[in-house]
Amino acid sequence: MSKNTGSIVHESLDALFEDSSFLPELQNEEREKALRSIRSILSTPNHVYKSFLRLPLNNGEIVRIPAFRVQHNNILGAYKGGIRFHETVNEDEVINLATLMTLKNAVHDVPFGGAKGGVIINPRNFENEELNLICKKYVRYFSDIIGPDKDIPAPDMGTSEREMDWMMAEYKSIHPGESYLGSFTGKSIVNGGSLGRKTATGKGVYYSFRYMLYDFLNQNKDWLGSQNNQYANKLIALKNKPLNIAIQGFGNVGSIIASEAFRCPYLENKIIAISDRNVTLFHSDGLDITKLINYTQGNYGDLPKNEKELEKANISAKIMPRDDLLTLDVDVLFLAALEDQIHMNNMNNIKTKVIVEGANSPITGKADLFLNKKKKIIIPDILANAGGVIVSYFEWMQGRDTKFYTEDEVNNQLFEKMKKTFEIVYPKYFSDHFSLRENCYIQAVMKLSIVLYKQGKLY
């Protein structure tokens, strides 16, 4: 587990130990013992599975590809978490991401546990038939441990609805006569996917921000003013102000954040910078997001990266080095690319007032501490990017009922579910000394602990 997730789980338990309303039936030595047990349970995964998938390449060579499935905890329901295809996948990262899934589901009250999968490949280096075989092999090698009531994978970096369709089809072949629609989520609509699933993470990320800067701020302005707290003062200072926004990453999550921000009727947003794996595009008057989305759709997801491509996209922008986006003087920075983007070496240069984490763990533990000391408002991954798993839960329910919701129904239920969490954690954040991430972890750990205790798992 990364130091970040692990240490915050420990700190959450320390905070809960002091809270007399938390499990009041446990006192003194019994309380200490119970908290040590919870610490031990939540800081380790239930299972770590590793296989080397045997893959005959199209050129006749056989290669063995390392693949993981980590099941962290299932006290709240079946294990749930994406499968990542990326060359940097490693066991610690998969364990950390599985842990984050347990906590994310707990804080948003989604009845699933936490899991994660990973395959160490760069999918761009494989032909489609080879990728199809990798997906089938992943399901075959892990077929005993996955399923609609055991462990339900979903897409993550490097995988999409295409891979989920392939995997579900393989699951169906291996388990004839059994229900299969709930075995994978993030599938295509024609294969039992949910309307609104593709946009859910990006929409949820933007909503976590909009809810704080518009709904929560407007409804609680006087209360926030009375808190005399630096986070609350910072938030109030952003009220009724045009907001300069930068977005790192322009894939599934980043492009939806951008389009939500671009056409948001509630806030005066100006997206002055976006970046992808190649470049940063900047315009102080704001970028035309609709044109950029149209361009990326015809160009393998990449933004224009030179003057010729900008002209082709009919976009006026300055091309800057990719990582310059992170240190721009903006009001809000959305991180929607990769892990560890703000770290020891660039944390001193971060000028934005608000950071929203669309990606998982885009800020290292040390940088997170540093930025919190600087009183930057950070809306963390566990809170902001749960839209995907929430709509996955809706997809799983729809697959079981074989009754499907409209896109508006999905979006409305997504916002309602996230709002319930915001209503718990935002007031706490603006009135106590914990960061928003710590508040979310405390909330998640509290729920998991109470369920563990009530199910008799602490004996």
Interface residues with ligand NAD (CB under 6 A) are 156-157, 201, 248-254, 275-277, 301, 322, 336-338, 358-360, 385, 388
Q: How far is it, in rounded angstroms, from Cα 257 to Cα 245?
A: 11
Q: Name the residue nearer to ligand NAD (CB basis): 196 or 249.
A: 249
Burial class from Cβ neighbours inside 10 Å (0-12, 13-18, 19+) for residue 406 reads exposed
Q: Name the residue nearer to ligand NAD (CB basis): 325 or 371.
A: 325
Q: How far is it, in rounded angstroms, from Cα 108 to Cα 387?
A: 10
Is 68:89 a contact under the CB 8 Å cutoff? yes
Q: Name the residue nearer to ligand NAD (CB basis): 275 or 443.
A: 275
| Rg of the chain taking only CA atoms, in angstroms | 22
Task: Please state the closest distance from residue 326 (CB atom) to ligand NAD, in A.
Answer: 9
CA atoms within 13 A on the CB side of 379: 30
Q: How far is it, in rounded angstroms, from Cα 200 to Cα 449?
A: 29
Beta bridge partner(s), residue 151: 79, 147
Q: Name the residue nearer to ligand NAD (CB basis): 13 or 328.
A: 328
What are the residues whose beta carbons fall under 8 Å from the beta carbon of 25, sequence distance 6 or more? none
Element counts in the chain: helices (H) and strands (E): 17, 12
Is 1:99 a contact under the CB 8 Å cutoff? yes
Task: Please state the closest distance from residue 269 (CB atom) to ligand NAD, in A.
Answer: 19
Q: Name the residue nearer to ligand NAD (CB basis): 382 or 452.
A: 382
Task: Please state the closest distance from residue 356 (CB atom) to ligand NAD, in A.
Answer: 12
Q: Name the residue nearer to ligand NAD (CB basis): 232 or 245.
A: 245
Q: Are strands 243-248 and 269-275 parallel, antiparallel or unpaired?
A: parallel
List Cα–Cα distances, 100 to 104, 320, 446, in angstroms: 6, 33, 15
Task: Please state the closest distance from residue 389 (CB atom) to ligand NAD, in A.
Answer: 7
Task: Please choose, from the candidates 243, 242, 245, the residue with its C-alpha nearest in 3D space to the C-alpha of residue 271.
Answer: 245
Q: How far is it, in rounded angstroms, from Cα 147 to Cα 166?
A: 15
Q: Name the residue nearer to ligand NAD (CB basis): 236 or 320.
A: 320
What are the residues whose beta carbons fall under 8 Å from the beta carbon of 252, sequence distance 6 or more? 160, 198, 201, 202
Task: Please state the closest distance from residue 277 (CB atom) to ligand NAD, in A.
Answer: 3
What are the residues whose beta carbons fall under 8 Å from the beta carbon of 420, sequence distance 6 or more? 109
Task: Please choose, from the candidates 113, 122, 116, 121, the residue with its C-alpha nearest in 3D space to the C-alpha of residue 92.
Answer: 116
Nearest-CB residue for ligand NAD: 251
Task: Please state the closest distance from residue 315 (CB atom) to ligand NAD, in A.
Answer: 16
Helix-helix angle 197-210:407-429, to 10 degrees: 30
Is 370:393 a contact under the CB 8 Å cutoff? no
Q: Name the residue nearer to ligand NAD (CB basis): 124 or 312.
A: 124
Task: Please state the closest distance from residue 35 (CB atom) to ligand NAD, in A.
Answer: 30
The encoded tokens of residue 144 equal 């005993």
Residue 116 known to be catalytic: yes
From the list 3, 33, 80, 116, the catalytic residue is 116
Task: Please state the closest distance from residue 399 (CB atom) to ligand NAD, in A.
Answer: 18
Catalytically annotated residues: 116
